[in-house]
Amino acid sequence: MAALITGTGVAVPPNVVTNDALTRIMDTSDEWIVSRTGVRSRRFVDPGTSTSDLGAQAVRSALADAGVDPSEVDAVVCATMTPDRQNPGIAGAVQHKSGLHGAAVFDLRQQCSGFLFGLDLADMLITTERARTVVVVGAEVHAGYLPWGDAWDIVLGRADRSPTDDERALATRHRAWSVLFGDGAGAMVLQTRPDGPGLDFESESGILGSVLRTDGAHADLIEVPGLGSEQRPYADEAQIAAGLHHPTMNGGGLYRLAVETMPAAVREVLKTTGFELDDLGLVVAHQANDRILDGARRRLGVDESIMPSNIGHWGNTTAGTLPILYHELREQGRVAPGTLVAFTSFGAGAHWGAVLYSEPENPGST
C-alpha cells in the first residue's frame, strides 16, 4: 500500500507587486532584493480574500485535476502560518468552502514545513488504511501582516500620493523580511495505490519514505513574538505599538540552518529507502530564497535542473511553495513517469525534513 499524488491545483491572487513597486514605500531596490533573495515579484490578495478562500480554490482545482468527486475525500490536511483568524484553524473553512462535507480535517502549524508534514500525515492515513483519499493544502495570505498600513494602495499603484514619513520608516524597518513573502496556495490529492503482483521495492511508486525533524530550540530564528497566551492580555495596543504582531527574523541564522538541514534530510531519506543521489530526478525544495536554494544545491551536489526555483515570480509563499512548484513542474512536463522526487523544506519552529516520492510508470492504473 502506498499513497499516490493523483491531482494538483494552485490558487494565486491577481495583484502582481514588483520590487520596483516596493521602492515606492520603503528604502530598497530591485537590485538589492534580486541579488539577496531572487524575488522579482510576488502576488497579493485584495482585502476580503482569506487564506481559506485561496486554500479552497486550490483544493477544488486539485480535485478536478484528479477527477475526484468531493464526496470521495476522507480527510483534508491544511497547513498555514497565516490563518483567517487566531481561532479556529482554517481546515474547517477549507472543508466547507470546497464542499468536502464529512471529511476529517487537520490543521498543521509547521510554517514553511507545514505542507511537507502534511504529505507525511496523508501517507500515514492512507498506508494505515484510515483513509483512501486525502487532500493536502498549503495556503498563505501574508498581506495581512505586512507593515504597510494605509500605504497598501501605493504599493498596488492605486493611490496618487507618496507615503508619509512614518509609513516609509515603518516599511523600511521591516524590509529585510517583508520583501520575501507573497500570497498563494497549492493542493494535492493523494490516493491509495494498492499492492500489486510483481512489485518489488525498486519499482514501487508513490510515497516511499520520509524524514521529519523538529528542534524547538531554534524557534526564535523567525517568530511573531506577540499576540498569544504568553501575554496578559492576549492582545493589546501596547503589543501593537511595539510591533510584536510582526515577525522578527535572524536571516543569517536561518540561512545557515536551512542549507545544512535540507540536504541532510534528503540524503537520509535516500539512504533509508535504498536509493542514491543519482537516482533523483527532482528535488522540490521550499522556496525561502534563492541564496538558500543555491547553498542547498552546492551541499547536495545538484544543479538547478534537479532542484528548480520559482521564487522569482511568487516570492516565498510559505506552506504554499512545495505544491505550487510541484504543480508547475507537472504542467511543464518535468515529472515524467518513473521520476524520483525528493520534497524538502525548512521552516520556522524549527521544522524540516524530506519526503521521497516516485511518480508511477502508469498513473492511470491506480
316 binds ligand ACO (CB under 6 A): yes
24 binds ligand ACO (CB under 6 A): no
The Cα–Cα gap between 114 and 348 comes to 10
Give the β-pairing of 282-285 and 222-223.
unpaired
180 binds ligand ACO (CB under 6 A): yes
251 binds ligand ACO (CB under 6 A): yes
The Cα–Cα gap between 31 and 24 comes to 15
State which of residues 15, 133, 210, 289 lies at the interface with ligand ACO (CB under 6 A): 289
By C-beta, is 168 or 334 nearer to ligand ACO? 168
346 binds ligand ACO (CB under 6 A): yes
Q: CA 320: distance to chain centroid?
A: 3
- Which residues are registered as beta bridge partners of 5? 190
Find the shortest distance in angstroms from Cβ 321 to ligand ACO: 8
State which of residues 54, 137, 143, 254 lies at the interface with ligand ACO (CB under 6 A): 254
**Cell numbers describing residue 327:** 504543480
* 250 assigned to active site: no
296 binds ligand ACO (CB under 6 A): no
Q: Which residue has the cell 518535468?
A: 334
Find the shortest distance in angstroms from Cβ 91 to ligand ACO: 22
State which of residues 6, 8, 15, 37 lies at the interface with ligand ACO (CB under 6 A): 37
- Which residues are registered as beta bridge partners of 355? 210, 343
Instruction: Please state the length of the chain.
Output: 366
Choose the catalytic residue: 15, 218, 316, 327. Answer: 316
Find the shortest distance in angstroms from Cβ 23 to ligand ACO: 9
DSSP states along 107-122? EE--GGGHHHHHHHHH
Q: Which residue is nearest to ligand ACO (CB)?
A: 251
196 binds ligand ACO (CB under 6 A): no
The Cα–Cα gap between 178 and 241 comes to 18
Buried b (16+ CB within 10 A) or exposed e, 254-287: bbebbbebbbbbbbbbbeebebebeebbbbbbbb
Find the shortest distance in angstroms from Cβ 140 to ligand ACO: 11
Find the shortest distance in angstroms from Cβ 255 to ligand ACO: 4
Part of the chain binding ligand ACO (CB under 6 A), chosen from 10-18, 29-37, 327-335, 355-363: 29-37
The Cα–Cα gap between 260 and 117 comes to 19
Cβ–Cβ under 8 Å, residues 70 and 187: no
Choose the catalytic residue: 286, 289, 327, 351. Answer: 286
168 binds ligand ACO (CB under 6 A): no
Q: 3-state DSSP helix/strand/coil percent for the chain, to nearest 5? A: 40, 20, 35
* 245 assigned to active site: no
145 binds ligand ACO (CB under 6 A): no
By C-beta, is 3 or 17 nearer to ligand ACO? 17
Choose the catalytic residue: 15, 112, 174, 289. Answer: 112
By C-beta, is 94 or 319 nearer to ligand ACO? 319
**Cell numbers describing residue 286:** 521550499
The Cα–Cα gap between 13 and 226 comes to 28
The Cα–Cα gap between 43 and 15 comes to 5
How many residues bind ligand ACO, per CB under 6 A? 24
User: Burial, 81: exposed, middle or buried (Cβ in 10 Å; 0-12, 13-18, 19+)?
Assistant: buried
* 112 assigned to active site: yes
The Cα–Cα gap between 115 and 343 comes to 10
State which of residues 288, 296, 302, 356 lies at the interface with ligand ACO (CB under 6 A): 288
Active site residues: 112, 286, 316
Q: Which residues bind ligand ACO (CB under 6 A)?
A: 28, 32-33, 36-37, 112, 175-176, 179-180, 222, 251-252, 254-255, 258, 288-289, 291-292, 316, 346-348
